[in-house]
Amino acid sequence: MTHEGLHVAIIMDGNGRWATRRGLPRAAGHRAGVASIRRIVDRALDHGIARLTLYAFSSDNWRRPSAEVQGIFWLLRGFLRLETKRLCQRGVRLQAIGRRDRLAPAVRDAIEKAELLTAAGDRLDLCVAIDYSSREAIARAAIGMTMLPEGEGLYQPILSQHLMRDNSDVDLLIRTGGEKRLSDFLLWESAYAELYFTDCMWPDFDEVEFDAALEEFYGRERRFGGLSVTAPAPEAAVSTY
Report the C-alpha gap between 190 and 159 in whole angstroms: 15
Report the C-alpha gap between 218 and 67 in whole angstroms: 41
Q: What is the pLDDT of residues 191-241, one digit of tens each?
A: 999 999 999 999 999 999 999 999 999 998 777 666 666 655 555 444 444
In a domain, residue 205? The reply is: yes
In a domain, residue 1? The reply is: no
Q: What is the pLDDT of residues 28-87, one digit of tens each?
A: 999 999 999 999 999 999 999 999 999 999 999 999 999 999 999 999 999 999 999 999
pLDDT at residue number 237: 44
In a domain, residue 144? The reply is: no
In a domain, residue 43? The reply is: yes
In a domain, residue 238? The reply is: no
Q: In CATH, what number is assigned to the domain containing residue 55?
A: 3.40.1180.10
Sign of CA dihedral 133, 139, 140, 141: positive
Greater confidence (239 vs 148) lies with: 148
In a domain, residue 68? The reply is: yes
Structural domain span for residue 118: 7-132+170-219
pLDDT at residue number 92: 98
Q: Which of 42, 61, 169, 206 is catalytic?
A: 61
Closest Cα partner for 59 from 12, 95, 102, 8? 102
Task: Say whether 61 is catalytic.
Answer: yes
64, 189, 205, 215, 227 from 33: Cα distances, Å: 17, 25, 9, 23, 40
Contact 173, 129 (CB under 8 A): no
Q: Which of 13, 125, 131, 171 is catalytic?
A: 13
Report the C-alpha gap between 27 and 129 in whole angstroms: 19
Question: Residue 111: pLDDT above 60?
Answer: yes
In a domain, residue 145? The reply is: no
User: What amino acid occupies position 28?
Assistant: A
Q: How many domains does the chain have?
A: 1
In a domain, residue 153? The reply is: no
